[in-house]
Amino acid sequence: MRRTLFNNMLFLLGVIVSAALLLPAKAAAHLVTTGMGPVYDGIGHLLLTPEDLVPAIAMALYAGLRGRAPGRQALFYFPLAWLLGGFIGLGAEIMPSFPLTAISFLLVGILIAADLRLPAHVFAGLAAAVGIMHGFLNGIALKTGPGGLGLLGIMAALFVIVAIISACIVSLKPPWTRIVVRVAGSWVAAMGLLMIGWFFRGQG
């Protein structure tokens, strides 16, 4: 009886703390300084940059939709490609003006919405290409901040994100849950199209 009351109180405390911590707080979208070093700055950068976070989640969703083997492939190819692209970006001088990230929104979003089955090598190539492109842009952005250690933090965070999300999607059994994922993919694709539009409008 006493234990039940304690559990209920703990549960209530959890809900209250969650609600309190959900109160709005300002968060910077790039070159985040966590005060905990460059690795955490890199993690903070990824988590607070929707241009990178959404495609990373989308890639994990697609890997999960494709099943266990592609999920495992993405778990390693995607973060490693991101890191490789990041190191290339650290040495680059020019930031492309076109929002390249819109392409990954569009491409991965359409693949999820269509639930398209790509051959294993094409899927691996896609994960690598998306990873390298985002990593490259991150490398340029992080050059003046956390640098290579920040990229390592991003890679670690990506590993966790892909592992958790793709595993959750692989484990989905009822058909409607896969449909929900496909609907989410259509939203990602729609965001990609709009990003391209905003670029041409000059308000991206």
Partner 1 sequence: MKKKSAHMHFIFWLLLFALFFAWPASVLAHVEQGQAIGFITGLEHPWSGLDHVLAMIAVGLWGAQLGNPALWILPVTFPMVMSLGAMMGLLGIPLPGIEIGIAVSAILLGGMVLGEVRPKLYIAAMLVGFFAIFHGHAHGTELPAGQSGLLYSMGFVIATGVLHGIGILMGTIHRWPAGKLALRGAGAFIAAMGFVFLWQAVA
Q: Please state the closest distance from residue 155 (CB atom) to partner 1, in A.
A: 19
Label each residue of 55-88 as H, E or C.
HHHHHHHHHHHHCHHHHHHHHHHHHHHHHHHHHH
Name the token pair of 152: 């390592």
Give whichever of 28 and 120 is closer to partner 1, judged by the CB atom.
Answer: 28
Give whichever of 17 and 120 is closer to partner 1, judged by the CB atom.
Answer: 17
Residue ranges in contact with partner 1 by CB under 8 A: 3, 7, 10-11, 14-15, 17-18, 21-22, 24-35, 44, 47-48, 50-51, 54, 113, 179, 182-183, 186-187, 189-191, 193-198, 200-201, 203-204
Q: Please state the closest distance from residue 61 (CB atom) to partner 1, in A.
A: 14
Sign of the Cα torsion 31, 33, 36, 37 reads positive
What is the Cα–Cα distance from 16 to 22, expressed in whole angstroms? 10
Q: Please state the closest distance from residue 73 (CB atom) to partner 1, in A.
A: 26
